[in-house]
Amino acid sequence: MSKKVLVFADRKEGQLRQVTLESISAARTIVDDGEVTVALLGSDARKETDTLTHHGADRVLLVEDSQFDSYITDAYFLAWQQVIDQVKPDFIVTGHTTVGKDVSPRIAAHFSFGLISDCIAIERNGDEVIYTRPIYAGKAFVKKSFRPGVQFVTIRPNNIPLISVDPSRSAQIEELTVPIKHDLLRTIVTNVVKKAATGIDLSEARIVVSGGRGVKSAEGFQPLQELADVLNAAVGASRGACDAGYCDYALQIGQTGKVVTPDLYIACGISGAIQHVAGMSSSKVIVAINKDPDAPIFQIADYGIVGDLFEVVPLLTKELKKLLPPA
């Protein structure tokens, strides 16, 4: 009998997150020719079915209900329970995002499933599936496998390569009603107030331009934003910059902030404290700009520029505008 994988899709503001497609690719690695079912919660979910199908889904379960448009822990926990009871999967995969990190341990504990979180690689060794995840704030990596039973994993964004898109694929589309008793919900969302500006999701960005205390002020982030606009990148920050009031904590990257794994990370005026490095050391290419030649950030950087960021960054922006089409 072929194995079944259940993927819980992750959406943000009604849009499918890239890590969902990476989760489907992970599911395909896990089961090869098995069945991959994707569960999608929220209003207007049907518009995503073609994308999910073309990226490898065999079956899509639509839970089109506005009560799932805003994340509520209890509602998602109860909904995931019911979806799992119906699908009865051998494996469960979801993104290592705010939702995944919150709900997955609850579900694993409820069903007594094994859980490996924050996976960055998956490989097959015969019938055994081996998962790689970072430990000690990214200083080392460990490979793990499960004992017999349902296997539950969360995937770190920007680490699992996407499988080839096949527009000719078709999938079974089903509507699923998930009744939630409102007296079981201990919290409700009455309003959402955004503190950070809209833009590219920092945790899924392919390019990140980040600033530290060296930007000196909130206005000091303006050259970084201009560079980010040219590169179609997200802007991040060190905790030092956030603590100094230069930017919102929503931009913080590090051990107590977001973990990012972009293709290109440009660190501007960041010394390279170990807490910050823990959040970005897995970046594929790291460029450091700092006027201190002894700054620790240069020890992990692939390319280093010793200079004043207020001189270097505008020059980079000017030259890149000549080379790149408008973002």
**Amino acid (one-letter) located at 271:** S
Choose one of 184, 214, 239: the last residue of a domain. Answer: 184
Q: Do 109 and 213 belong to one domain?
A: no
Q: Do 15 and 96 belong to one domain?
A: yes
Q: Do 166 and 222 belong to one domain?
A: no
Half-sphere exposure of 226 (CA within 13 A, CB side): 17
Q: Which of 139, 82, 184, 148 is nearest to 278 (CA)?
A: 139
Distance (Å, whole) CA 160 – CA 25: 7
Q: Do 59 and 170 belong to one domain?
A: yes
Q: Which of 26, 20, 52 is nearest to 116 (CA)?
A: 26
CATH for 246: 3.40.50.1220
Tell me whether residue 191 is in a domain.
no
Q: Which helix (H) or strand (E) holds 84?
A: helix 73-87
Burial status of residue 26 (CB atoms within 10 A of its CB: 0-12, 13-18, 19 or more): buried
Asked if 87 and 60 touch (Cβ cutoff 8 Å), the reply is no
Q: Do 82 and 142 belong to one domain?
A: yes
Q: Do 305 and 208 belong to one domain?
A: yes
Residue 219: strand pairing partners: none
Q: Do 256 and 112 belong to one domain?
A: no
Q: How high is the pLDDT of residue 183?
A: 80
Residues 6+ apart with CB under 8 A from 126: none
- Intra-chain end-to-end CA distance of the chain, in Å: 48
Tell me whether residue 195 is in a domain.
no
For 68-97, the pLDDT digits (tens) are 888 989 999 999 999 999 999 999 999 999
Q: Do 130 and 217 belong to one domain?
A: no
Residue 177 to residues 63, 71, 207, Cα–Cα distance (Å): 6, 18, 39
Q: Do 282 and 141 belong to one domain?
A: no
Tokens of residue 301, six digits: 């950087």
Tell me whether residue 289 is in a domain.
yes
DSSP string, 275-288: HHHTTTTT-SEEEE
Q: Note down pLDDT in tens along the chain; length 327 residues.
A: 579 999 999 998 888 999 999 999 999 999 988 899 999 999 888 999 999 999 999 999 999 988 888 898 999 999 999 999 999 999 999 999 999 999 999 999 999 999 999 999 999 988 899 999 998 878 889 999 999 999 999 999 999 999 889 999 999 999 998 888 888 888 888 887 776 555 688 888 999 999 999 999 999 999 999 999 999 999 999 999 999 999 999 999 998 899 999 999 999 999 999 999 999 998 999 999 999 999 999 999 999 999 999 999 999 999 999 988 775
Q: Do 208 and 319 belong to one domain?
A: yes
User: Dihedral sign, CA of 106, 109, 112, 117?
Assistant: positive
User: How many domains does one find in the chain?
Assistant: 2
Tell me whether residue 59 is in a domain.
yes
Q: Do 159 and 14 belong to one domain?
A: yes
Q: Note down the domain range covering 213.
A: 202-323
Tell me whether residue 240 is in a domain.
yes
Half-sphere exposure of 49 (CA within 13 A, CB side): 18
Q: Do 134 and 211 belong to one domain?
A: no
Residue 25: strand pairing partners: none
For 7-45, the pLDDT digits (tens) are 999 998 888 999 999 999 999 999 988 899 999 999 888
Q: What predicted TM-score, i.e. pTM, was given to this entire model?
A: 0.85
CATH for 159: 3.40.50.620
Tell me whether residue 194 is in a domain.
no
